[in-house]
């Protein structure tokens, strides 16, 4: 089981490194989650 975790860690590290900046990787994850979100990002305004 330890080898599987190490392999997953290496894959994730390579994905992060492919972005050049870890913040860009984090931003891509957040943007994918927001794009898939079912709720609205801003509240409805009732007149």
Task: Determine the Cα–Cα distance for residues 27 and 44; give it in Å rounded to an integer.
Answer: 26
For residue 37, the model assigns a pLDDT of: 83
Q: What is the pLDDT of residues 1-43, one digit of tens each?
A: 789 999 999 999 999 999 999 999 999 999 999 888 877 767 7
Whole-model pTM: value is 0.67
Sequence spans of domains, the chain: 2-31
Contacts for 9 with CB less than 8 Å, ≥ 6 apart: none
3-state SS of the chain: helix, strand, coil percent to 5?
A: 70, 0, 30
For residue 32, the model assigns a pLDDT of: 93
For residue 39, the model assigns a pLDDT of: 76
For residue 47, the model assigns a pLDDT of: 57
């Amino acid at each position: 089981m330890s080898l599987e975790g190490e392999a997953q860690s290496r894959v994730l590290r390579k994905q992060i490194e492919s972005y050049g900046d870890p913040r860009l990787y984090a931003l891509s994850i957040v943007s994918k989650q927001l794009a898939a979100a079912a709720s609205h990002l801003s509240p409805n305004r009732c007149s």
